[in-house]
Structure 1
Amino acid sequence: MNTNNKFMLYLPAISAESNNNISIISADVRKDATYFAHYITRDKRLVPQIEKTYATVEYASFIDIAQKFITEFQLNHASKFVVAVPGPVISGKSEPLRLPWKLDAEEIKQQTGISQVYLINDLEASAYGLGNDDEKCFQTIHHSENVVPGNIAVLAPGAGLGEAGLYWDGKFMRPFATEGGHSEFSPRTNDEVEFYQFLQKIYGIVTWESVLSTEGLFNIYRYVRDVKQQQQPEWLTREIENNNFTDAIIKGALESRDRICNVTIDTFMLFLAREANNLVLKLKATGGLYLSGEIPVMLQKYLNKDDFYKNFIVSDKMESLLRDIPIYLVRDTKTIIQGAALYAAFSGE
């Protein structure tokens, strides 16, 4: 993983000798699984050593998982410990809605004995993680000959809807977190108003995360099935009962197995283009849009269709700006854990 890349991340401590040959533990905490990795820094690079995955729900606290990883691989000597969490980080603390416990950097420091502990939002970590990737990790969805150096937008629908940016200061890219996925969803057409009303009865406040996430994908499906009266096939009923909805609906659409699958995915892709448009405009992300997260990777075929780009550039006055935005799919599934480690290694002392 070479940090010398086209992103020019702002890593002010990358040349500090004190950050060479140090041991770093990185964790990516999610609702179902918590991922751990151990890295050594060497010649301004992160060198991976160990990776391990744990079932989040089997542990009473994050400390319990952390201590198990540290003990199992004898990592008490680690210099730094960084944790990427799916929620806002305020003053070294986080209470992610999708996790069963709170996280506190000071508590982790006391319990593990590691002197430098960091909490970072998972999408901010993912933005840093782009700096670990080479060209083969990106698939071009739309190429532009008129790219203007500038901010970058990162949009990642998965268990939730992650949104982040990289601010271009004229020399470096500086990643930052947002909670844009929790901004309110706005319908445009009569059908979308009907969809909004369907979700409003369930949630009260309808956010983009209620539409663009694994739960959001199921919400679209329920609307297509229950309001638009599309028949649910028996094979899909079995998949839903086996908690395999996301994989099944996407595979069903890719194979054109049943109309309800294609309608669901087409609707999801329309909304994905719409929110990508929103994020790019709000960040003035002339440097590009990067689609990350588990769902876009599964929908590569749909992203390559003209429909996604055509829906992305729809605007009242900004089509000329949107038309020149390059769009990429991030195929690397480890950007969060690697980016968190890069942040801990080189962003400060």
Structure 2
Amino acid sequence: MESKNKFKLFLLGLNSESNNDVSVIAADIREKETIIGHYRSRNQAVSLKKETAYSTKDFLSFSDILKKFMTDHSIASVSKIAIAVPGPVIRGKSEPVRLPWKLDAEEIKKDAGVDQVLLINDLEASAYGIECVEESQFVKIHDSVVFTPGNVVLLAPGEGLGEAALFYDGNYLRPFATEGGHCEFSPRTNDEVEFYSFLQKIYGIVSWESVLSASGLFNIYRFLRDVKMQKQPEWLTAEIEADNFCHAVIQGALENKDRICTMTIETFLIFLAREANSLVLKMKATGGLFLAGQIPVLLEPFINNKKFYKNFIISDKMENILQDIPIYLIKDEKTILNGAATYAAFYQE
């Protein structure tokens, strides 16, 4: 898929003729489902040919899912495989805490009979995938008055809290993974200290992922319900039992249906703005902040207002930098898959 935005990534093998018309498989592994796509590289871009989602827990290994996908679509052979995993990748291996199995690139290479198998952190893959996003899939939350090219950061709360950055070398952006979501959460107000104590009894160490994720959203909710004694409506009890909490509480806030829904979302957005602020400052990301993932997309009406931005620019000394950072919401749901395919297709040692 040809990039139609101005995101300029560094891809070492982009101009190599050996990477043209290459068969690539990309995978986006998640706790509940694994999405696999078959791509072809052509004219310095990747094109999706086949895609299927599988229940992660139904398979004993990634290799089993891969075999199923190749059989389902009668794919005889591929040149490269890139697997986006929700966790750190160290020397071609990964043990994501939310997955039922470990991943080893060398073992998968042997099982699949493929020359090149690459493991990549899912948010790093998403950073590569931004280049493939159509302009219509970007929602501008805030524009800079005077744009300063520089580093870029990506923040994506979903099943976990993903954070990645892209280093600006003066010409290109170079994605890299972080594990910033596992840094410790720090409270600011008395109510937040109470919230921290509530979570500390559950987790011991309270990370930002315990606050900004699907489980984090529920943590905020149950603190308001169990500690602040906000009433849980009967309709939401049914949604929780049906494992549909995130969609339900966000919709409840959008419709102003119940006070506890509104309070939950408002609290989540304050924390989202604060962690976005920290990530931008740590990486000096004058090139922009990109929000991605299922939760921010559902929260678009709340993020795309002045309240989120006002919370984002709060700082002791850096408001002059923060107020001029461009902020975008990415609505494309395939950035991880497309990014993994792009990484594989044009990867070169």
Q: What pairs up with 1:162-177 in 2 under 5 angstroms?
A: 162-177=162-177
Q: What is the letter of the counterpart of residue 192 of structure 2? A: E
Question: 2:259 corresponds to which residue?
Answer: 259
Deviation at 1:43, TM superposition (A): 1.1
Show the 5 A alignment for 1:88-107: 88-107=88-107
Tell me which residue corresponds to 2:244: 244
Give CA-to-partner distance per residue, 1:73-95, whole Å, 9 cap, x none. Answer: 22232100110000000000000
Matched, 1:53 2:53: yes
Runs of 4+ in 1 over 3 A off after TM superposition: none
Report Cα offsets for 1:79-121 as digits up to 9, x if no partner. 0011000000000000000000000000000001011100000
| 1:197-224 Cα distance to aligned partner (Å, 9 max, x none) | 0000000000000000000000000000
Is contact 2:4-2:134 (8 Å) kept?
no
Does the 8 Å CA contact 2:5/2:135 hold for their aligned counterparts?
A: no
Equivalent position amino acid for 1:120 in 2: I
Q: Which moved more, 1:149-158 or 1:135-144?
A: 135-144
Compute the RMSD of aligned alpha carbons: 0.9
Q: Give CA-to-partner distance per residue, 1:17-61, whole Å, 9 cap, x none.
A: 100011000000000000000001111111110000100011111
1:272 corresponds in structure 2 to 272
2:186 corresponds in structure 1 to 186
Residues 198-347 of structure 1 mapped to structure 2, 5 A cutoff: 198-347=198-347
8 A Cα contact 1:3 1:44, kept in partner: no
Q: Which residue of the partner structure matches residue 143 of structure 2?
A: 143
- 1:242-273 CA-partner distances (Å, limit 9, x unpaired): 11111110000000000000000000000000
Give the secondary-structure state (helix, strand or coil) at the position aligned to 2:236: helix
The separation in 2 between residues aligned to 1:72 and 1:254, in whole angstroms, is: 40
For residues 58 and 167 of structure 1, the distance between their equivalents in structure 2, rounded to whole angstroms, comes to 38
CA distance in 1, matches of 2:134, 2:150: 20
CA distance in 1, matches of 2:147, 2:55: 42
> In the alignment, does 2:165 pair up with 1:160?
no
Q: Residues 93 and 105 of structure 1 are in contact (CA less than 8 Å); yes or no, is this contact kept in structure 2?
A: yes
1:163-209 deviation line (CA, Å, top 9, x unaligned): 00010000110000000000000000101000000000000000000
Give, in angstroms, the shift of residue 3 of structure 1: 4.1
Equivalent residue pairs, number? 349
% same residue? 62
Write the distance in 2 (CA, Å) between the matches of 1:74 and 1:117: 20
1:80 partner amino acid: K
- Aligned partner of 1:42 in structure 2 is 42
Partner of 1:13: 13
Please give the alpha-carbon distance, in whole angstroms, between the structure 1 residues aligned to 2:242 and 2:331. 27
In 2, Cα distance between the equivalents of 1:251 and 1:266?
13
Question: SS of the counterpart of 1:175?
Answer: strand
CA distance in 2, matches of 1:327, 1:60: 40
Q: Which amino acid aligns with 2:16?
A: A
Question: Structure 1 unaligned runs (5+)?
Answer: none
**Secondary structure in structure 2 of the residue aligned to 1:46:** strand
- 1:63 is displaced (CA, Å) by 1.0
1:328/1:123 CA distance change after superposition, 3 Å: same
In 1, Cα distance between the equivalents of 2:45 and 2:100? Answer: 34
Partner of 1:129: 129
Q: Give, in whole Å, the separation in 1 of the partners of 2:114 and 2:71.
A: 13
Which AA in structure 2 matches 1:183?
Answer: C
Tell me how far apart the structure 2 counterparts of residues 11 and 68 of structure 1 sit (CA, whole Å).
Answer: 30
Name the SS for the 2:162 alignment partner.
strand
Q: Distance in 1 between matches of 2:160 and 2:347?
A: 27
TM-score by length of 1: 0.99
SS state of the match for residue 119, structure 2?
strand
Tell me, yes or no, if the aligned pair for 1:76 and 1:113 is still in contact at 8 Å: no
State the secondary structure of the residue aligned to 2:24: strand
